[in-house]
Amino acid sequence: MKSAQFLRVVLGAYIVLFFAYLFGPLILMSITAFNSSEFPRVTPWDCFSTDWFNVLVEDKRIMTGLRNSIIIGFGVVCLSVPIGLAAAMMLTQVGRRMKSFFYTVVVSPILVPGVVLGISTLIFWDRLGTMFDASYNSVFYNGIFLSILGQSTFVSAYCMLVFTARLQRFDPVQEEAALDLGATNAQAFVKILLPFLKPAIGSAAVMAFLASFENYNTTIFTIVSESTLTTVLASKVRFGINPSISALAVIIVVLTLICAIIHEAMKRQEARRAQAAKDERVVADYASVGRFATSPWGIVLLVFLAGLGTIWLATRYDTASCKMRLQDERQLRLEQSTPSTPAVTPGAATPGTTTPSTTTPTTTPSGSEPAAKPYQGIFAPQNLDQVAPKDEGEAAPAGEGKSDGESKPYQGIFAPQNLDNVAPKSD
């Protein structure tokens, strides 16, 4: 008995750890959106700031990408939901032999790597275009059109699976009854089958849109010269990152959470209603405030109010003065550390003396950190601490940093955190 309890505790602890792995990165990323530091990070914390949201909204490339993503998303929904529905219905009507072949072919796009789907779509339309001698402005080379087709290839399979699951619970007697009573096939389809499938159509459409919206592997090939939100994000993340991407993540996380809460609340309400109908008695009208708070719209309202509250707090918080203070502190430390730490002097003190105004020393170096990745470790504060007490030979890299302070790999040397950490040592 004891061991069973012990196992439960272990499993519980594992689940907690697992969800920490699942949510931890997302939470940390969201936090970095509110740090004024140029590089997305949680520690050291500079100032609370909502500036990155402004940077995000003013970014033209992201906004164009977003627009294209939404267009493609709608295109994919319009194409893959009808295809998925038709395929699911077809699956119920073909013979056994045919069925397994058909199923293998249409499910394969889920397993085939997205890269391959993108490439094959691109090549197919490119070759068709060459065959028809089409111009480069024609539909054969249109990134949005190709992306809709390429993504629909596998999104349709998702939709089909959703419809197949729902169709398994369909009672064909209903349709037969309608046909016996003189309805045409089309009428029976529209009046009986479609209403039955309505929830599945809804969830298939949502899923199709989300799958299209977040797709990268297929889109990167089919998009040709256009861009979607995902491809813009990818190129931004690859070539230098700043917290405006975190700000976008915050928006998406919040939207996702709202959708999830609404979904859950609606399910609960449905279940409650079903229960009430079953019991055939009026559910006690418990405190109406509590009821509103757990209804979907109540929750949306609460979330909305919380958002407004955050924005209000943000406007009251003076980021600019905090930044100023931070800068002053840094300069103070810089001045203190200049005369007394010999190991730091060659590299770190130079910018302080040459640019006494220190207009942007807090920002520029850390902004270029990603480029400097491979060598960044060299000038981390701990290294300096270790190097300082030793002989001059060990400290040689610092001297090198001075000679070509312009070159990228050594830019980390000017990172303000180095100074922060070194300063106390000097006392």
Stretch 74-93 residues interacting with other proteins (CB under 8 A):
82-83, 85-87, 89-90, 93
Q: Is 174 in the site for other proteins (CB under 8 A)?
A: no
Q: How far apart are CA 103 and CA 106, in angstroms?
A: 5
Name the residue with tokens 């797709």.
215
Site for other proteins in 21-60 (CB under 8 A): 21-26, 28-29, 32, 39-43
Q: Provide CB contacts within 8 A for 228, sequence distance 6+.
A: 65, 68, 69, 72, 147, 219
Residue 38 has a CB neighbour count (10 Å cut-off) of 20
What's the closest the beta carbon of residue 353 comes to other proteins, in angstroms?
Answer: 25
Phi and psi dihedrals of 281, rounded to 5? -140, 155
What's the closest the beta carbon of residue 315 comes to other proteins, in angstroms?
Answer: 26
Q: Contact 425/388 with Cβ under 8 angstroms? A: yes
Q: Which stretch binds other proteins (CB under 8 A): 273-281, 318-326, 369-377, 390-398?
A: 369-377
Q: Contact 61/227 with Cβ under 8 angstroms? A: yes
Q: Is 152 in the site for other proteins (CB under 8 A)?
A: yes
| Distance set, CA 158 to CA 12, 201, 276 (Å) | 32, 12, 34
Per-residue binding string, other proteins, 122-151, x by CB under 8 A, is xxx-xx--x------------------x--
Interface residue with other proteins among 14, 292, 304, 317 (CB under 8 A) is: 14
Q: Which stretch binds other proteins (CB under 8 A): 180-188, 287-295, 336-344, 392-400?
A: 180-188
Taking the least distance from each CB to other proteins, the nearer of 6 and 312 is 6
**Dihedral sign (CA 49, 50, 51, 55):** positive
Q: Which stretch binds other proteins (CB under 8 A): 249-257, 316-324, 347-355, 398-406?
A: 249-257
Q: Which residue, among 237, 245, 327, 242, has the nearest Cα to 37 in the 3D structure?
A: 242
Q: Please provide the DSSP assignment of 319-334 as one string.
A: HHHHHHHHHHHHHHHH
Taking the least distance from each CB to other proteins, the nearer of 119 and 314 is 119
Q: Contact 20/228 with Cβ under 8 angstroms? A: no
Q: Is 15 in the site for other proteins (CB under 8 A)?
A: yes
Q: Which stretch binds other proteins (CB under 8 A): 4-12, 309-317, 332-340, 346-354?
A: 4-12
Using CB under 8 A as the binding criterion, the count of chain residues that bind other proteins stands at 103
Interface residue with other proteins among 47, 178, 200, 249 (CB under 8 A) is: 249
Q: Please, where are the H alpha helices in 94-193?
A: 96-111, 114-131, 143-167, 172-180, 185-188
Q: Is 383 in the site for other proteins (CB under 8 A)?
A: yes
Q: Is 400 in the site for other proteins (CB under 8 A)?
A: no
What's the closest the beta carbon of residue 399 comes to other proteins, in angstroms?
Answer: 20
Interface residue with other proteins among 48, 74, 103, 141 (CB under 8 A) is: 103
Site for other proteins in 252-271 (CB under 8 A): 252-253, 256-257, 259-260, 263-264, 267
Taking the least distance from each CB to other proteins, the nearer of 18 and 304 is 18
CA angle 310, 316, 319 (to 5 degrees): 100
Strand partners, 48: 35
Q: Is 106 in the site for other proteins (CB under 8 A)?
A: yes
Phi/psi region, residue 70 (left: phi>0; alpha: psi -120 to 50; beta: rest), is alpha
Interface residue with other proteins among 57, 115, 177, 305 (CB under 8 A) is: 115
Residue 54 has a CB neighbour count (10 Å cut-off) of 12
What's the closest the beta carbon of residue 339 comes to other proteins, in angstroms?
Answer: 27
Q: Is 340 in the site for other proteins (CB under 8 A)?
A: no
For helices 114-131 and 143-167, what crossing angle results, to 10°? 130
Q: Is 116 in the site for other proteins (CB under 8 A)?
A: yes
**Dihedral sign (CA 8, 13, 18, 20):** positive
Q: Contact 294/268 with Cβ under 8 angstroms? A: yes
Taking the least distance from each CB to other proteins, the nearer of 205 and 233 is 233
Q: Is 9 in the site for other proteins (CB under 8 A)?
A: no
Taking the least distance from each CB to other proteins, the nearer of 253 and 336 is 253
Taking the least distance from each CB to other proteins, the nearer of 307 and 339 is 307
Q: Which residue, among 378, 375, 379, 328, has the nearest Cα to 356 in the 3D structure?
A: 328
Site for other proteins in 204-223 (CB under 8 A): 210, 213-217, 220-221
Site for other proteins in 273-332 (CB under 8 A): none
Taking the least distance from each CB to other proteins, the nearer of 48 and 216 is 216
Q: Which residue, among 160, 187, 186, 185, has the nearest Cα to 89 in the 3D structure?
A: 160
